[in-house]
Amino acid sequence: MAGRFTSKLLNAPIVFNFKDLILLPGLSRVEPSEIDLRTRFTTNIELNLPFVSSPMDTVTESEMAIALARQGGIGVIHRNCTVEEQVNMVKRVKRSESFIIRDVLTIGPEMTVGDAHRYMREHSISGLPVIDGEGRLLGIITGRDVRFADPSLKIKDAMTKDVITAHEGITPEEAIELMRRHKIEKLPVVDKDGRLTGLITYKDVALRKMYPNAVRDEQGRLRVAAAVSPFNLNRAKKLAKYADALVIDVAHFHNSNVISATKKLVKEVGIDVVIGNLGTREAVLDSVSKIDEVAGLRVGIGSGSVCTTTQITKAGAPTLFAVAQAADALAELGADIPIIADGGIKGPGDIALALALGASSAMMGYVFAACKESPSPMTIIKGTYYKLHRGMGSPEARRKRYALDRYSQPAKGIPEGTEMWVPYKGEVASVVAELAAGLRAAMGYAGAATVREMWEKARVAWVPGSLEGFNRGLKTEF
Catalytic residues: 307, 406
Nearest CA among 448, 450, 413 for reference residue 25 = 448
Which span sits near ligand IMP by CB under 6 A: 62-70, 81-89, 184-192, 357-365?
357-365
Looking at 73, 75, 188, 365, which residue binds ligand IMP (CB under 6 A)?
Answer: 365
Residue 130: exposure state from Cβ atoms within 10 A (0-12, 13-18, ≥19):
buried
Among 391, 443, 449, 451, binds ligand IMP (CB under 6 A): 391
Q: How far is the CB of 286 from ligand IMP (least distance, A)?
A: 20
Q: Does 366 bind ligand IMP (CB under 6 A)?
A: yes
Residue 417 is classified by DSSP as: B
The answer to the question of residue 307 lying near ligand IMP (CB under 6 A) is: yes
CB-wise, 21 or 363, nearer to ligand IMP? 363
Which whole-number Å values give the CA distances from 201 to 250, 277, 338, in the listed order?
40, 41, 36
* Strand stretches in 210-285, DSSP E: 225-228, 245-248, 272-278
Q: Least separation, in Å, of the C-beta of 282 and ligand IMP?
A: 20
Q: Per-residue x/- marks for ligand IMP, 311-350, CB under 6 A?
A: -------------------------------xxxx-----
- Within residues 20-59, the interface with ligand IMP by CB under 6 A covers 54, 56
272 binds ligand IMP (CB under 6 A): no
* C-alpha span between 52 and 35 (Å, rounded): 19
DSSP string computed for 288-340 = HHHSS---EEEE-BS--TTB-HHHHH---B-HHHHHHHHHHHHHHHT----EE
Residue 358 near ligand IMP by CB under 6 A: no
CB of 23 vs ligand IMP, minimal distance in Å = 20
Of the pair 39, 394, the CB lying nearest ligand IMP is at 394
Q: How far is the CB of 54 from ligand IMP (least distance, A)?
A: 3
| 393 scored as a contact of ligand IMP (CB under 6 A) | yes
Q: For the purposes of burial, counting CB atoms within 10 Å of the CB of 311, is it exposed (0-12), middle (13-18) or buried (19 or more)?
A: exposed
Task: List the one residue from 48, 201, 277, 374 that touches ligand IMP (CB under 6 A).
Answer: 277
Check binding of 304 to ligand IMP (CB under 6 A): yes
Residue nearest to ligand IMP according to CB distances in the complex: 417
> Which residues does 353 contact at the CB level (< 8 Å), separation at least 6?
18, 21, 22, 23, 320, 460
* Distances 278 to 98, 232, 275 between C-alpha atoms, Å: 35, 20, 8
Q: Residue 88: CB partners within 8 Å, gap ≥ 6?
A: none
Is 306 a binding residue for ligand IMP by CB under 6 A? The answer is yes
Q: What are phi and psi for residue 380, nearest 5 degrees?
A: -125, 125
Note the residues at the interface with ligand IMP (CB under 6 A): 54, 56, 277, 304-307, 309, 342-345, 363-366, 391-394, 407, 416-417
